[in-house]
A and B are shown apart, each in its own frame.
Chain A
Amino acid sequence: MGTQSPLQFGIQTVTKLTITLILVSVLTFSLVSLSPISPINAYIGQSRLQISAEQQEMIIARWGLDRQPIERFFIWGGHVLQGDLGRSMIFDEAVSTVIAKRFLASLWLMAVAWTLSGILGFLLGVLAGIRQNSLFDRSIRIYAYTLASIPAFWMGLVLMVFFSVYLGWTPISGASPGGIAMADVTFWQRLHHLILPAATLSILGVAQITLHTREKMIDAMNSDYAVFAFAQGETRAGVAFHHALRNIALPAITLQFASLGELFGGSVLTEQVFAYPGLGQATVEAGLKGDVPLLLGITLFSAIFVFAGNTMADLLYGIFDPRIRLQGGTDQ
């Protein structure tokens, strides 16, 4: 169990990422190749009748669809290695441009929701865990368990019916008011459009982090160091804030980083509800309209996103937990 140098950790992380990405690309590419949906038909769509057989042959040859899937995979992989993810059919732009643009919009949404759910969930969990089985604890538990079985997109619809339709406080859809160029949208307008989607997206995360923090808090309040502090005349609140808090903060932060995958999934559904032009909506469109290059690109990107979250979680453990310090002991 020797300690690991940052360099070793870096090399290990890069190796892991490379292997993950290779496996994910193989899986994704096989799935996409299996699909009976023809990219040609998806591309031509309505104008099918205006296109002659020769023209169709030309598209097939140009896209390399006449070759074997394995050969296509290596061609695609070679381009990806050079940083070329291909061209999106539905947006008619480079896939990397589409992902970058869309992700920027999603990043706002995800960052707000992620921070909100982290802070709120942690607070609720701590307050519930200080006194196990108190009225407050029980109501928070019921609240969190109920939230955990509510689909995010339905919650979005409910919030929309109440706040946008009934009260008229928030806009119904989009990331900015219609008819205004993206550059002219003010910060407040963006924020105004962000409130409901971010609230929707944070709801799922709140439940998870609350329940987790509560468990840890109860453990901490029953631990030896807490008993010792009680014996010295410390109050419950004192033990909670001076002793327990720093012990339970780390698992909570780690969990929050490790849940980036769910955050991404949640953003797909939330963006669909509020017609928010982010990466999630692009994913759905790519899937529905058969935009294979974009679908491949987004999958790879989301894998990197999830991987980054997990690595951050490992890293934080190493930095903040003196007992671990990058022993590589965080693998399950």
Chain B
Amino acid sequence: MAKIEIKGLIKKFGKLEVLKGIDLQVEEGEVVCLIGPSGSGKSTLLRCINCLEQPTEGSVTVDGDVLTDKKIDINIARENIGMVFQQFNLFPHLTVMQNIILAPVDRKIMSKNQAIKIGMGLLERVGLADKKDQYPSQLSGGQQQRVAIARALCMGPDVMLFDEPTSALDPEMVGEVLDVMRELAEDGMTMVIVTHEMGFAREVADRVLFLDGGYILEQGTPEQIFGNPQNERTKSFLEKVL
């Protein structure tokens, strides 16, 4: 069974229809990159996967949990879906370590001591163990984003969603964040990534989806999409960004 299964997803904001019927399956361990012009619905699609945006119609199933079912405890379902934001969204009043352990302890997934131990391991993994007692404002953008990834991972999610994780970063900090994501992909994490980093998508993605106007217009392996795009709009988009 697919790790993420989206059927007939429609999302409207008032009268504006942003997603016009999306069907998507993501297998376990698969890395899917969403590309497309701004306003195409990439971020909205991503945010529908953990129901930060409530889908107007259609169903979203992640790891067997039907998130669009009203009876489901959305908080428990979200424990399993990590998300990383463009603006990092670290909690500015908490230290790095407090940021990481807040949710796992609040959700009673682990004790505080356990969380600190796991958090320490994750910080080492993203190369920021020495920053654990600093506040987010004392870190660079790249460091903040790596902390945000560690924070999401501390919940032990099966799926990770990335919403333009490098778009707010200075160019020289993009690499360090992509390195962490690359490692995560190699470890077999199921990932859905909205990105403008075409080079990264080409290298890491198992599948690339091109969205425009609320539809998935084209999808395939990075070789197919970047090497030999079929759809006219995909072609013109790639010409502009590559």
> Are these two chains actual partners, yes or no?
no
